[in-house]
Chains A and B, each alone.
Chain A
Amino acid sequence: MLYQSIEYLGNSALYYTRDFGRMGSYLFLSILGIFKRPFRYNELLRQIHLIGANSLVVIFFTGSFTGMVLGLQGYYTLSKFGAEGVLGSAVALSLIRELGPVLTALMITGRAGSAMCAELGIMRNSEQIDALECMAVDPFRYLITPKFLATLIAVPMLTLIFNVVGIYGGYVAGVVLLDGNPGAYFVSMQNSVGNEDINLGIIKSFVFALLIVWICTGRGYFLHKIRNAGFGAEAVSRVTTQAVVMSSITVLVWDYLLTAMLL
């Protein structure tokens, strides 16, 4: 029993060390693919469309309702102190520094990250990635790098859209529905939001984009190496779920770390 427990611990340590090493070299090769030629511009545009343009509706709805909730809650709380005038500032800072990057990242993980993971997992299962390697086509340059670049371009842009829509959502709830002061909403926002807040939000969205695309595509790509993943369709579903959960948790952990480092 003791012997088996020690063996299990040892095997687990080896597995996680190998897995981490594999994911590290995966990240390196994916970034290296950006500098390899010929570059697949059309595929990059297609991926930006899939990850970015196709996520606009989701981002629009999430952004507007998040802003509206912030507007309602903010108005209710601030009115207790007679400070409704700073509602615009509260909504904008919450969105730009925190909620915009985090919620956009979580929505993109669910919408595009899961799709990328499942796509690569199915390609791995049906030997399509092996076929590319056998044709001496670099799967990183061909498949992964366009997804990396597209996510790094699309997520910060979606975050900015989320912020703008959210700010107007807060305006609708706090000013239009609750009769707040429209001038005070925008003036307080302009007075309190600085470049450092916008930069923090953008840095966060870049880091989150990298984490999402790294984890989601990496898990799909190494589907055959993941312990206890099972086989066939079951493996794809398990690994996709695992990738989404892992990305979401990692985004939240890094959100805290980045806030602590850059505050």
Chain B
Amino acid sequence: MSDAIIKFVDVVKSFGTQRVLDGVSFSIPEGKTTVIAGGSGQGKSVSLKLILGLLQVESGQILVDGKDITRMRRKEINQVRTDFGVLFQGAALLDSLSVFDNVALPLVERTSLGAAEIRERVLSTLDQLGLSGSEDKFPAQLSGGMKKRVGLARALQLQPKIMLFDEPTTGLDPEKSMEIYQLFHRTQQQFGYTSIIVSHDIPKIFNLADQVIILNHGKVNTFASPEDIPRSEDPDIMDFVKKTMGSVYLSREMEYAP
């Protein structure tokens, strides 16, 4: 297994009286794809926000490249964030900006590139992601799948070391979901980033996973590969497998019922 680029060490996070993460520890290997799965409200998206420093832990450490981001000041966190690319659930495009301006935003704000070079880079990325001709459109004029692709184009502009995907295929039909998965695969091959995917799309999402983390009632189970999940003897995991990966029919009789 590769070296860990992100490490959770005894992380605790609560909202009011509800403890979402209860002393959670896991590692994300560099250059691989880790899928974080689990039921609703089990702390999947919270984990992503903790990695990004958008939420604060109650106790524990989150090490990114060996540095604890829970102890960092705003300026240092911003420095670490330049290594991240994020694709939000709803793409989170700035709706007052055109597609071009959205994708150019990280380059305009975080680099000293000239206008011509920015234009060339943005148009090239849009072309690679099948968005040529859409640069003057606004987010409200795009379909769900196109929004995700624009979000991905924006996230890739600064060539991040780590990409975080929050429910990347929510709201998309199976064809568009497959298109997005193929894009992940292709861009990861191209840019070599570490990928962390939070998803409900089980078991399809496991096709992309090198490692799977299942969050359940504030606790964590890590599997070196998706194939190990059905072999688990943990009752919670067995229940999870039954609910998410089992047949849609509860019995053979039901399946063949007229």
Q: Which residues of A contact B (CB under 8 A)?
A: 38, 122-123, 126-128, 130-138, 142
Contact = CB atoms under 8 A, between A and B. Distances in A.
B252 interface: no
A127 B90 contact: yes
A135 B88 contact: no
- Please tell me the size bucket of the interface on B: 20 to 34
Q: Could you say which of A38, A126, A127, A135 has the most chain B C-beta atoms within 10 Å of its C-beta?
A: A135
B170 interface: no
Contacts of B81: 133-136
Given A136-B78, A136-B79, A136-B81, A131 B86 contact: yes
Please provide the 8 A-B residue pairs with the shortest distance between their CB atoms, ordered closest to farther. Answer: A131-B92, A127-B92, A136-B78, A136-B81, A134-B86, A137-B109, A127-B88, A135-B106
B105 A135 contact: yes
A244 B186 CA distance: 49
Interface in B136-170: 154, 158
Contact of B82 (A122, A136, A138): A136
18 contacts: A122-B95, A126-B95, A128-B93, A130-B88, A131-B88, A131-B92, A133-B52, A135-B81, A135-B105, A135-B106, A135-B109, A135-B110, A135-B154, A136-B78, A136-B110, A137-B105, A137-B106, A138-B78
Contacts of B95: 122, 126, 128
Given A136-B110, A137-B109, A137-B110, A131 B94 contact: yes
A236 B106 CA distance: 27
Contacts of B100: none
B81 to A, nearest CB: 4
Contacts of B92: 126-128, 130-131
Interface in B71-108: 78-79, 81-82, 84, 86, 88-90, 92-95, 105-106
Interface in B105-123: 105-106, 109-110
Interface string B170-198: 00000000000000000000000000000
